[in-house]
Structure 1
């Protein structure tokens, strides 16, 4: 039976949770995940975990921040004066806000709301977290198929 190797395109179901068991993402929501191993389109720990898997095989893996979304970077906390924010923005802690500048889109999370300023967090929401994934490999499409 075929095993996943670098360059293969794979299709799998997954459930991602935090160490406490809280689910943050699942392929049940948006269908099976498809990617090519070695292209860097998924986090390194996820890519490494599928290597050697066979269709129909299940696996539970724990991915530390270094192989996931990286450590939290406190330098990515940005304080913006409320006067500089769009007038229709009513920021709430935890809210995800998208800003566009020079054709670039930036997703930020509201970290703190003060009287005169708002602190936004530009870290990925999963940065600094250890992630647990349950995987079920559905299919392997070998390179060149």
Structure 2
């Protein structure tokens, strides 16, 4: 019998994130590569980690997280109006996700929300912000 997940465990698991309509937003099973992380390393929200505590390898569980417990509520400060000229010849389409370079050279994804005249509205909130989500997890391995 494997150890149950504790606050400092290293966990290997498959997960599927489902939207309220039942469609899958993300799943590690698509590419067959499970997620690997250490509890408390910041890759998961505290509330998500609390749902995993006590599970052991081989267990499967499904739980629902409200927006504030998953990816948060959308922040209006993360929505920007960008000059269309910055897109060169590539006219962005509404709903498209594009990478934008930060001043420090890193890239951040943004969702194109609107294109009007010379202004492009870009939303840098997490795509799943504001959504109530169902997480289905399958624990593969637990190490302390």
Partner in structure 2 of residue 127 of structure 1:
129
Tell me the alpha carbon deviations over residues 70-102 of structure 1, each in whole angstroms, 9 at most, x when there is no partner.
11112221112223x131221101111111133
Partner in structure 1 of residue 8 of structure 2:
7
Tell me the alpha carbon deviations over residues 14-51 of structure 1, each in whole angstroms, 9 at most, x when there is no partner.
11101110101111123111110111112333222111
Partner in structure 1 of residue 97 of structure 2:
96
Q: Structure 1: which 5+ residue stretches go unaligned? A: none
CA distance 1:104–1:57, shift in 2 (3 Å): same
Partner in structure 1 of residue 117 of structure 2:
115
- CA-based RMSD: 1.3
Partner in structure 2 of residue 54 of structure 1:
56
TM-score (norm 1): 0.90
Partner in structure 1 of residue 87 of structure 2:
86
Question: Any idea what SS the aligned residue of 1:29 has?
Answer: coil
User: Which consecutive segments of 4 or more residues in structure 1 shift more than 2 A?
Assistant: 43-46
2:139 to 113, 137, 140: 137
Partner in structure 1 of residue 28 of structure 2:
27
Cα separation, 2, equivalents of 1:41 and 1:50: 13
